[in-house]
Amino acid sequence: MTQTQEVIHAVGRRKTASARIHLRPGDGKITVNKREFAEYFPTLSEQGYIVQPLVITGTASDFDIYVLVQGGGIAGQAGAVRHGIARALEKFKPEFRPVLKSAGMLTRDSRQKERKKPGQPGARKRFQFSKR
């Protein structure tokens, strides 16, 4: 198994979004759902959030990343991609684990939307109280 030909697969999740990551050695190109990275995630805050694992490990221009992401909204998808990239980097080089773990990138953010309760307008919201 040579590292020049190796492709690492990982899955990242956040809210209801799920991202499949294909990481291979390259020159730093990121493709999301067959579209350019900057086109799919237009805001700089999302782009910076996603590349955090690459920046923290110093491998920003060492890998080509192909991402298939589905479900959820833009923020959830960005979190799923970040989680998947961190897991793929850990698979590629186990020495990255302490750095990624201390930054909290390997932990799946398990917060989900709370369900709406019957007879009420929302998950937590209640109808206005009327004394009479």
**Number of compact structural domains in the chain:** 1
Does 15 map to a domain? yes
Instruction: For residue 47, give Cα distances in angstroms to 20, 22, 65, 71, 116.
Output: 17, 18, 14, 18, 32
Q: What is the pLDDT of residue 65?
A: 96
Written as tens digits, the pLDDT of the chain (132 aa) is 455 568 999 999 999 999 999 999 999 999 999 999 999 999 999 999 999 999 999 998 999 999 999 999 999 999 999 999 999 999 999 999 999 999 999 999 999 999 999 999 999 999 988 988
Does 33 map to a domain? yes
Does 114 map to a domain? no
CATH of the domain at 56: 3.30.230.10
Give the range of the structural domain holding residue 53, as residue numbers without chain letter.
Answer: 8-102
